[in-house]
A and B are shown apart, each in its own frame.
Chain A
Amino acid sequence: MNAEEALTFAARRLSGRYEVDEFGYDAELTDKVVLELLRPLYRHWFRVETVGLHHLPPDGALVVANHSGTVPVDALMLQVALHDEAGRAIRLLGADLVHRLPVLGHLSRKTGHTLACKEDADRLLRKGELVGVFPEGFKGIGKPWDQRYRLQRFGRGGFVASAIRAGVPIVPCSIVGAEEIYPKLGDLPVLARLLGLPYLPITPLFPWFGPLGLVPLPSKWLIEFGEPIRADEIDPEEADDPMVVFELTDQVRETIQRSLNALRLRRGPAFFL
């Protein structure tokens, strides 16, 4: 942005004359400010590399990824990856905890995220959006260090039913590297409950080093998009059939686990030991 563009940008923002969609997604703020701030982390800190971007269908799809790292940095890096390397805006489905919080909840909406619920998923997919979901939820992101790269249970498979209903393919996505950013060695359950958090981690740096402990470790990341799983070829009526949904959920989970294992080998050590 040159000075003149920056001025018109600032003037437009200050006059309130910009578009926000019905979910509260502010594309301009996301592209020009939020992703701009995340990019150094993406490029220089985690040195993220992407694999298999050609697997992304041109229209709507559901990207299903593993979740890890204690703090959902992986979701943000996935968003930068798809924006920068594929020119796609991904609409992430997040936990209601985030949406309850002041500041963060509304920033999350402005960045295009919404609540992980059936209605919002269906609505976004119907509009042909690229939607991202982390079915492991807190079980995945908050798992202890010794469980790293072991996929947790994939909820109730609601995401699969949504994809079938909307007639879109599922793109399995494996993220390697996020596991090492805040190795969760322990937990402070009493304090966590007091603060209303699902967990309060003990990492090698937190809470010992105070705010310094919040700096993520500079692990090397790889994000792989796998071959689409054809949920769009299933009759939408079958979204209500639990057997179909469970089977497809298992298939997605196994695909991601396999690709995680391979991708981890390919990356080698997380910190260039």
Chain B
Amino acid sequence: MSPVTRTILVTGISRHIGARLASVLAADPAVSRVIGVDTVPPASPTRDGGAQLSPLDRVEFVRVDLRSPDIAQVIAAADIDTVVHMSLMSGPARSRSAMKEHNVIGTMQLLAACQRSETVRRVVVRSTTAVYGSSPTDPAVFTEDSEPVEVPHTGYGKDASEVEGYVRGYARRRPDVVTTTLRFANFIGPRVDSPLTRYFLSPILPTVLGFDPRLQFVHEDDGVELLRRVALDDHPGVFNVAGEGVLLLSQCLRRAGRLWLPVPAPAFRFLGEGARALGRMDFTPDQLALMSHGRVVDSSKVTHELGWAPKFTTASAFDDFLQTRGGR
């Protein structure tokens, strides 16, 4: 049986979902300690406008660069029993190679530390549905065992595929540890900051001419709740997570009431790179594929396993995002 006192390590605590998860876990009576690590300290709750957020003061912050072996000392020193790995970065880092190093090398170091640890007995990894890639010749709906026709060979999707590969390796070597991989659709909500939320908040939205992709979203509240549940209980396996239903990009744009500009695919990429130079958005080739072909996953497995389903549908999550952020 699992011990009553729990010590949980959360990586990627400086970003929104990581911070929310850490404070929710810290407020749980079944949890004795929450240690949050990241390369930069979390933004102060006040500046973050965090009246509605429980403060991070019960969370102990340790500044660790995941790419260094220091993480092993943190795990050893604190008798960590649960690790929630949230620090996968989708967004524009200083450079693509820095992002890749952070994502892939960071995960390797973390798992190496977990493998040596005697105390870690549960590992939860936040992954993404981007591992399925996005192409016109894939099945319409991905299940967890789908093999994508085109394995993502760039950016976030590729990083996540590699990270999942290391997690599988770790699970093989430590069958006594419960590992859970959650493949989330794009997060959305009042306080999510991602390439996609920045896209939807731009004054004019470029779309790929002749394409109307199917999109899915997960509301941040549902994301945090699900992560909390798998951090506190054993749910081994790989799970897709998305709000029920789909929205076409054209529906999103109409709901947002924003101007959009269909441009041919090469121009879309060019605009994306321009926007990236201005630090506004990050349109990588995998993003272009998503904006052309879309991606839909089946998340019935997680509902079945946990007896829990996201409260927000894809559409209601998007509407909630618009209401709080859309300025309309």
Chain A residues in the interface with B (C-beta under 8 A): 13-24, 26, 96, 99-103, 105-106, 109-110, 114-115, 117, 119-120, 123
Q: Is B250's beta carbon under 8 Å from chain A?
A: yes
Interface size on B, residues (CB 8 A): 27
| Interface pair A20/B248, CB less than 8 Å apart | yes
For this complex, 6 residue pairs linking A to B, each with C-beta atoms less than 8 Å apart, are A13-B254, A22-B140, A22-B141, A22-B245, A99-B137, A123-B141
Q: Which residues of A contact B137 (CB under 8 A)?
A: 96, 99-100, 115
- B residues 209-228 touching A (CB-CB < 8 Å): 209-212, 214
Report A-chain residues with C-beta under 8 Å of the C-beta of B245. 19, 22
Interface status of B252 (Cβ within 8 A of chain A) = yes
* B286-310 at interface with A (beta carbon < 8 Å): 294, 296, 298
Contact B253 A16 (CB under 8 A): yes
Q: How far is the CA of A101 from the CA of B250 in the complex (A)?
A: 18
In the complex formed, the residue of B with least CB distance to A19 is B245
Per a CB cutoff under 8 Å, which of B209, B246, B298 touches A21?
B246
With A100-B137, A114-B140, A115-B139 in contact, is A22–B246 under 8 Å at CB?
yes
CB distance from B116 to the nearest CB of A (A): 40
Establish whether residues B139 and A102, one from each chain, have CB atoms under 8 Å apart when the complex forms: no
Is there an interface contact between A105 and B136, defined as CB atoms closer than 8 Å?
Answer: yes
Q: Do the beta carbons of A20 and B246 come within 8 Å of each other?
A: yes
Closest A residue to B248 using CB positions: A20
**A22-B252 CB under 8 A given contacts A99-B137, A115-B137, A123-B140:** no
In the complex, B251 has a CB within 8 A of chain A: yes
Assess the A24–B250 pair: CB atoms within 8 A: no
Interface centre among B209, B212, B252, B298 (most CB of A within 10 A): B212
Contact B255 A22 (CB under 8 A): no
Q: Are A16 and B140 in contact (CB under 8 A)?
A: no
Contact A20 B140 (CB under 8 A): no
* Residue B247 at the chain A interface, CB threshold 8 Å: yes
